[in-house]
Structures are given as C-alpha cells and as structure tokens.
Amino acid sequence: MEVLLSDEHFAAVNKPTRMLTVPGRGADKQDCLYRRVCELFPDALVVHRLDMETSGVVLFARSLEAQQNLSLQFEKRQTLKQYVAIVEGVVLQDEGVVDYPLRKDMTQRLPPKHLVDCVRGKKALTRWQVLERGATTTRLALFPETGRSHQLRVHMQSIGHPIVGDPIYGHAAERLMLHAQMLAFLHPVSGAPIRIECPAPF
C-alpha cells in the first residue's frame, strides 16, 4: 500500500491487487486495505471501494463531515474516474460507450457475479478509448460514469473483450489487468479541485 496524497480531511492510497478494500466474512478475510490505512490514519472512514482484484486509487475520509461530502460526490457522479485495462482481443473501434444495465446474478453467490439485465438491471454506463493495440490484446482507458459492482468487468465482457486475467468473466491469470489510475474530486472542506494519478503497474 502506498499513500498518494493526504491531509487532515482525507487520504488517498494505492491499493494492491488481490487485497480486499474492507473486511469480508470469515477470519481469513480480515486483512484489508481499510485496516492497513487505519494503522496510519486511525480516523479513516470508507468512501468507496474497488474489487479485490482491481488495483489503484482508493479514497478515504478522515471525519464524518468529509465522509458525507465525498460520498455525496460519488453518489451524484461529480467525481471523475479513469481506469486502465488490458482486454482480450483486438478492439477495432477507437472509442465507444457501453450502456447496459446491470444486476447481481442471484443464481451464483460465490464468487459473486453480475450480469446485464435490460429489464431489472440498474443503469450502468462506461466510456472507453483505445490506448494501444497488440497482436491479441488491447490496452484501454475506461471512464465509468456510474459505479455498479463489477461494472467495467461485465461491460467489457458484454462487448466481447473481457479483461485479461478476470477469473469470473474471462480467464484467470496472475492478476486482473484493471487499475484505477486517476480520481478527480473536490476537496471536502475547501472545495478545491484535486486530481490524483497513479500509473498502472502493467
């Protein structure tokens, strides 16, 4: 875990892949990013989460007032998020939008899975842009405008390009090639614009 930026109101850190953001159920799921952040910032409060397999920028508040402010920014989609992913296959278009509603797959509990459901799903929208094409994979910038669970992973699978290393929606590998590279938001007290960047490790 690396601290990217902090003050008395918030702390932004780089979450490693294969680490839970918050504790899970069971004794084996207690080591998590939140507990490690609390060792440095005992007043840390959760604002948002990343999937266990996803690495990158995670923001914590350091007071109830800051938590309410930052959580509202996420809820009202006032934050800007950019992810980097490597997906299977060569994406032919240079950019696009995936606008498929999502819901939890109630037939599969472990591991949790989500799917596209145009009737009962909740709105989910992802914009994407090609960064680089390889022989069998494509590097993309992903811009989620909503924050549904597994949104980027399901959306990429839904257009025929699952993220490399995805054990649920693609093919398992050493790691999921998905990284939260940039987060922009307004300071919870001063309102000043803040942009935190953390380059992908792949």
Confidence of residue 29 (pLDDT cuts 50, 70, 90): confident
Confidence of residue 17 (pLDDT cuts 50, 70, 90): very high
Of 181, 156, 183, 178, give the one whose Cα is nearest residue 169: 156
- H helix intervals, the chain: 33-40, 64-75, 151-158
Residue 112 has φ and ψ, to the nearest 5°, of -55, 140
pLDDT above 80 for 123 = yes
- Read off the DSSP letter of residue 163: B
Of 19, 32, 48, 52, give the one whose Cα is nearest residue 196: 48
Confidence of residue 24 (pLDDT cuts 50, 70, 90): confident
| Distance, CA of 48 to CA of 58 (rounded, Å) | 7
Give me the catalytic one of 51, 94, 99, 166. Answer: 51
> pTM of the predicted model, to two decimals?
0.95
Residue 5 has φ and ψ, to the nearest 5°, of -165, 140
Each residue of 69-82: pLDDT tens digit? 999 999 999 999 99
Judging by beta carbons within 10 Å of its beta carbon (0-12, 13-18, 19+), is residue 175 exposed, middle or buried? middle
- List C-alpha distances in Å: 50 to 6, 29, 30, 104, 119: 19, 15, 16, 16, 26
| Distance, CA of 30 to CA of 53 (rounded, Å) | 16
- Tokens standing for 28? 């084996």
Each residue of 76-111: pLDDT tens digit? 999 999 999 999 999 999 999 999 999 999 998 788
Mean pLDDT for the stretch of residues 51-70? 98
The domains found in the chain, sorted by start residue, are 2-197 (3.30.2350.10)
Distance of CA 85 to the CA centre of its chain: 11
Each residue of 129-171: pLDDT tens digit? 999 999 999 999 999 999 999 999 999 999 999 999 999 999 9
Concerning whether 51 is annotated as a catalytic residue, the answer is yes
Mean pLDDT for the stretch of residues 174-197? 98
Task: State in Å, rounded, how far the first CA of the chain is from the last one.
Answer: 17
pLDDT above 90 for 30 = no
% of the chain exceeding 70 in pLDDT: 100
pLDDT above 80 for 28 = no
